[in-house]
């Protein structure tokens, strides 16, 4: 009787543990499923751009929106900081740390799915641009004189980690000539928003905006949780 009573009392614990495991698996599916989806969308758009347009080609969709093919060697929105190789290695380190952080935080069950998905958007965007830098120079020919070919016989246009990021979204929401009476810039053409960007840049920007608007406290808690866990492990 005692044994059967003990077995009966353990059933709720087993069911609860199974439910927790299923919830954890579903959360992981949502988190890494979104990561993969964003990455596939980003790379699909870039592949289409590389194999459809010449560098500098523009497809006007609306007055305020164009598909405008440019390439840059720098960070999001065409910013350039330091050498190309250093920048690529730095981004790989940062994004690897972020992905490990997401995995660690999701396993802890202490953070909301919304917060983790926000981090996933940033990670997917960063890795999407890293793929360009790491592999596009190897697998694509140059796009300046002809539409790029995939896996060209003569090899790609750049070594590993020195490829260029593909940008294509151009939103000149305001395009006008400034009035002549304006000091310094009077009579000059003014465009807003001028930078050309890609889907990965959008993921990073939206993720960072959501982080600051809604998850600033969660982000600080996550940092404290990660570093406190490292201290506990050392002890």
Residues annotated as part of the active site = 167, 201
* CA nearest to 169, candidates 210, 205, 124, 117: 205
* Contact in structure between 122 and 203 (CB atoms under 8 Å): yes
The CA-atom distances, in angstroms, between 106 and each of 119, 179, 198, 214 are 11, 54, 28, 18
| DSSP string computed for 52-75 | T--TT-EEEEETTEEEEEEEESSS
Q: Which helix (H) or strand (E) holds 169?
A: strand 165-170
Q: What's the distance, CA 212 to chain centroid? A: 17
* Contact in structure between 104 and 228 (CB atoms under 8 Å): no
Tokens of 230: 């490292």
The CA-atom distances, in angstroms, between 81 and each of 29, 130, 144, 164, 169 are 36, 15, 23, 14, 22
């Amino acid at each position: 009787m005692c044994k059967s009573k003990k077995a009966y009392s353990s059933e709720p614990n087993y069911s609860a543990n199974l439910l927790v495991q299923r919830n954890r698996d579903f959360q992981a599916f949502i988190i890494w499923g979104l990561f993969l989806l964003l990455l596939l969308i980003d790379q699909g758009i870039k592949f289409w751009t590389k194999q459809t347009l010449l560098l500098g080609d523009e497809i006007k969709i609306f007055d305020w929106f164009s598909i405008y093919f440019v390439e840059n060697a720098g960070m999001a929105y065409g910013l350039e900081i330091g050498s190309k190789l250093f920048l690529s290695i730095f981004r790989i380190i940062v994004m690897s740390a972020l992905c490990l952080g997401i995995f660690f935080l999701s396993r802890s069950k202490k953070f909301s799915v919304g917060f983790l998905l926000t981090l996933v958007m940033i990670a997917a965007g960063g890795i999407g641009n890293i793929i360009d830098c790491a592999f596009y120079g190897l697998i694509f020919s140059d796009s300046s004189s002809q539409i790029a070919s995939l896996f060209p016989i003569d090899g790609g246009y750049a070594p590993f980690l020195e490829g260029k990021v593909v940008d294509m979204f151009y939103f000149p929401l305001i395009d006008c000539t400034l009035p002549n009476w304006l000091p310094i810039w009077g009579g000059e053409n003014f465009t807003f928003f001028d930078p050309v960007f890609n889907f990965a840049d959008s993921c990073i920007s939206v993720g960072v905006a959501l982080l600051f608007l809604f998850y600033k406290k969660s982000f600080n808690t996550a940092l404290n949780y990660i570093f406190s866990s490292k201290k506990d492990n050392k002890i």
